[in-house]
Each structure stands twice: as C-alpha cells, then as structure tokens.
C-alpha cells in the first residue's frame, strides 16, 4: 500500500514514511493510491472479533510495511478495557465503543455509539492512543526523536498530550485558542506537568492555530531540522484509526451484511466523518453520512449548496460546542480529491483559491469552479445545523426520555440525526465527549452538574502550566527552537 498527495506532486510513500509527517511536501494531504476493499465474507468473520482484533484486521490493509505481529501487538496494547475504563454504568467496557439505544419512532431507530470512554473522555482518544503507540514504536525502530506540533479546539490537544506524555523521544507543542475552550478542557491540558508537554495559548481562534501548524509544516527546511510531526486530524494514521469504529458500529447494529446503516457525525474539521467516507469507499454498507455542524456552518453550507466558503477569524462564532468552532475544514480536501475524480491539479487549484479568494464553488451555477456538487449524493453525504437553543433542548429531551446525559456536540448530532432518521435503517450518532467536559452548558440545560468519572473531580483547581502567544508562526518556531535545542 502506497500513499499519494491530493495535490499530486509528492512521490508515493509507505505508511511508516507518512506516519510522522502530516502535510505532504506540496501542501496536500496523503491518501492511499486506492482504497482497500472489504468483502462480505470478511465482514461476517469480523462480527466475532474484539475491538483490538478488528482494528488489526483493518489497519493491516493500510500499514502493509509494519510486520503483522508488531501491528497486532500494538492494537492489543491500545484497545483494552483498562485504557477505555470510563464506561457508563451498565456498559460493557470490553466492547470499547458500545451502542446505546436513544430512541425509536415510526420504525426509525437512533443509536449512540459511545466513543468517549478513553483517558480524556473524548472520541479523539480512539485514534490518539494508537498514534502514541505507533509513534513510539516507529521512533524506536529508527532511533529518532520527534517534536509534535498540533492545534486544538479542545479535545485533540488533551487526547494527544495524554497519549504522548512520558513517551520516549517525543515532545508535544500544542496550540489552542486562548480562553475559547471549556474550563474542563483547558484544565485537562494545562494541568499536565510532564516535561515533554508544552501548551501554547494563541490569541485568536482555532483556525489561527491551524494556520500556524500548516505554515510551520510548509517550511520544509525548518520542519526537517526540528523533526516536526503532527497529530492533527490531517495525520493519515489518525484518520484510518477512526475508520475502525465505523465498522464496529455497523457490526454491532446489524445482523446481516444486506442491512445498511447511516451515521450522523458532529463535525468541524471533517476528520471524523472523513473516516466514515473512507469506510464507505472500502465497501461498508453505509446509506447516509450526515454532517452535523453548529453555528459555524461552513460544511453544512457546502453540502446544501456546493459552495465552500471559509470564514475569517472575526466571523467564527465562539459557541457552546467549541470543538466545532472551525471555519476552515482541513480534512475536506481528501473528500474533494475523490469528488473531482482524483484530479490533483484541480484540487491544487481549488485550494489555492481558498487561500486567495476564501473558497470555491462547485454548484455548477454561472461563474462557478465546476459542477461536481451534483455527484455529492452518490457518496451518501447530507448535512444539518444546530444552534445553542437546539443543544439545550436536545440535552433536556434526551435526559428526560432516556435518562442519559449527552454533551453539547453530541446534542448537535442528535438534533440533526432526527431530521434524517428513516424506518429500517439504523441511525448511529457518533458521541463526541462525555458531558463533564462541558459542565457550564449542562448546568444551563438541566440545573445540575454533569457526572464525572473518578479522578476528574477537581481538575479545574489543579495548577496550570502554559504560555500565551500572539497568532504568529515565527514566534511559535522560535519557542520550539528554544525548548528543543536541535
């Protein structure tokens, strides 16, 4: 299995070669030359597997240069009930990502796939824990070090830091928007005292942080000299690790491969639902992939109109589902590559237009950049939007009817899922995080605190270690240089 850039100018690479890289040298994103296919016989066999065994079977199709015995050991080490220990009362922790029934109406079933049982109580742990083990394994093989530069709108940062803390040969420099995360999210990151963890609070929004990561990655000499790697959702290994739970959700929700399911995914950066797109391209029987956005509705606008219109920092809303406060969806390029028939020159031109004109138009209308929007339905995509009052109403409704607390992002997903649920096709909503991470909104919705797993009772009171910095890539590069000595 070899990987190519969406922009066409990078030489084909192996899985291990792109594992630590993030962006391709031409500024594109890596994708396999072709998606591996999954047969009906394989799906039948996979129904009996543990989560770790399923992860091995899927990953071995993509990481063909890692010895299978090593890959099996890595997935077995990662996906254990001890690591994913924060299951709710009544859940089987050995399932890792159990399905919870939410509601059934007129033959339409909505299920919640619990993805937040890991150490930082967010779905990001599902991929990040594996990434930490893969990084450590690969660096040890090469006798190398790595400086990870990442950007977070809330959950990626803590998931990365908890996965990489104490890992030999790894330092983490994590950018986050200053004072724009929940108190719990902030404390989860900034309270870490590990010597290899560096938190940088950027005066701006998430997109400013993401732009800095891309600017540093595009300085190829600096990136090579400082051994810069990335754990953001543009990292291919992270995306492919997320593919696993789509297969798991499907296999838990169905008894026959003749059945289809749909997924609703709260999304800002398009990474999580991109994994669903890849699963569908591999042959997983997915009917619809539904993008649920908050007030920052760049993706919803595209999937309704064919116009991709990036918002400026000043136009990006700070909402009560802050991990989706994103106006430039980094992983979207991977889908566009498929949508335009792997025409890398088109992709490069379209994303140059994002930088110069703030977006592109594939609606087919007068003056548009193409008419590929007509093909979007072939890939199963649809979308919807949820705002603050919707979140409050959905949290209250699910709690009243089901006795279940959901977080604000998951509430966005449930609200949109209800708009698309159809009889005979199970609708699976992917959980984003446990509600404890967004306690301020839970209090507003229900007048009570969210339950907290053991060990998180007073996290906001812990001492915090971070620096505040302007949105300036040069300043960040100097800071990394100062703290690595490379």
Coil, strand or helix: which one is 17?
Answer: helix
Helix (H) or strand (E) holding 427: strand 427-430
| Distance (Å, whole) CA 185 – CA 125 | 14
| Distance (Å, whole) CA 473 – CA 464 | 24
Cβ contact 120:155 at 8 Å:
yes
If 0-12 CB within 10 Å is exposed, 13-18 middle and 19+ buried, where does residue 20 land? buried
CA distances, 224 to each of 146, 281, 432 (Å): 10, 34, 34
* CB atoms closer than 10 angstroms to residue 183: 13
DSSP 378: G
CA distances, 117 to each of 23, 98, 159, 291, 439 (Å): 29, 10, 12, 23, 17
The angle at the Cα of 131, spanning 126 to 133, to the nearest 5 degrees, equals 110
| Distance (Å, whole) CA 443 – CA 450 | 8
| CB contact set of 446 (below 8 Å; sequence gap of 6+) | 395, 396, 399, 405
Q: Helix, strand, coil proportions of the chain in percent (round to 5)?
A: 45, 15, 40
**HSE-up of 62 (CA within 13 Å, CB side)?**
27
| Distance (Å, whole) CA 102 – CA 112 | 6
Task: Name the nearest CA neighbour of 386 among 348, 416, 347, 353.
Answer: 416
Residue 260 is a catalytic residue: no
Task: Name the nearest CA neighbour of 316 among 331, 334, 298.
Answer: 298
Query: Tokens 């409704």, residue?
Result: 397
E strands present in 218-353: 228-229, 261-266, 286-293, 307-309
* DSSP annotation string for 192-206: ---TTEEEEEEES-H
Among residues 48, 105, 124, 312, the one annotated as catalytic is 124
The angle at the Cα of 291, spanning 285 to 293, to the nearest 5 degrees, equals 165
Task: Name the residues annotated as catalytic.
Answer: 124
């Amino acid at each position: 299995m070899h990987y190519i850039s969406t922009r066409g100018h990078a030489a084909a690479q192996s899985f291990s070669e792109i594992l630590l890289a993030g962006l391709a040298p031409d500024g594109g994103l890596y994708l396999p030359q072709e998606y591996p296919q999954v047969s009906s016989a394989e799906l039948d066999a996979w129904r009996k597997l543990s989560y770790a065994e399923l992860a091995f079977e899927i990953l071995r199709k993509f990481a063909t240069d890692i010895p299978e015995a090593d890959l099996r050991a890595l997935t077995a080490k990662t996906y254990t009930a001890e690591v994913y220990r924060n299951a709710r009362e009544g859940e089987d922790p050995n399932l890792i990502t159990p399905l919870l029934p939410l509601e059934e109406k007129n033959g339409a079933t909505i299920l919640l796939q619990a993805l937040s049982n890991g150490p930082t109580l967010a779905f990001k742990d599902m991929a990040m824990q594996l990434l930490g083990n893969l990084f450590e394994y690969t660096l040890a093989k090469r006798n190398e070090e790595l400086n990870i530069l990442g950007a977070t709108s809330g959950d990626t940062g803590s998931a990365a830091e908890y996965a990489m803390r104490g890992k030999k040969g790894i330092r983490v420099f994590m950018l986050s928007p200053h004072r724009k995360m929940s108190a719990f999210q902030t404390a989860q990151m900034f309270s870490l005292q590990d010597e290899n963890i560096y938190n940088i609070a950027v005066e701006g929004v998430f997109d400013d942080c993401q732009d800095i990561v891309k600017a540093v990655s595009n300085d190829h000499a600096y990136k090579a000299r400082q051994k810069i790697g990335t754990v953001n959702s543009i990292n291919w290994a992270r995306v492919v690790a997320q593919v696993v739970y789509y297969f798991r959700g499907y296999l838990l929700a169905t008894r026959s491969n003749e059945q289809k399911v749909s997924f609703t995914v709260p999304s800002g950066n398009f990474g999580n639902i991109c994994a669903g797109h890849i699963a569908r391209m591999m042959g997983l029987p997915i009917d619809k992939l539904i993008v649920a956005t908050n007030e920052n509705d760049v993706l919803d606008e595209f999937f309704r109109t064919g116009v991709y219109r990036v918002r400026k920092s000043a136009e990006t809303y700070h909402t009560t589902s802050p991990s989706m406060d994103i106006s430039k969806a980094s992983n979207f390029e991977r889908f566009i590559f498929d949508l335009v028939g792997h025409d890398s020159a088109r992709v490069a031109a379209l994303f140059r237009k994002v930088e110069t004109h703030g977006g592109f138009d594939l609606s087919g209308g007068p003056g548009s950049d193409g008419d590929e929007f007509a093909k979007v339905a072939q890939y199963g995509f649809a979308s919807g939007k949820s705002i603050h009052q919707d979140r409050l109403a959905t949290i209250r409704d699910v709690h009243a009817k089901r006795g279940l607390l959901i977080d604000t992002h998951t509430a966005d997903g449930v609200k949109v899922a209800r708009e698309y649920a159809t009889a005979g096709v199970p609708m699976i909503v992917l959980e984003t995080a446990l509600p404890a991470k967004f306690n301020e909104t839970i209090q507003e919705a229900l007048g009570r605190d969210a339950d907290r797993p053991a060990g998180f009772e007073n996290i906001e009171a812990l001492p915090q270690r971070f620096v505040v910095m302007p949105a300036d890539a040069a300043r960040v590069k100097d800071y990394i240089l100062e703290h690595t000595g490379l």
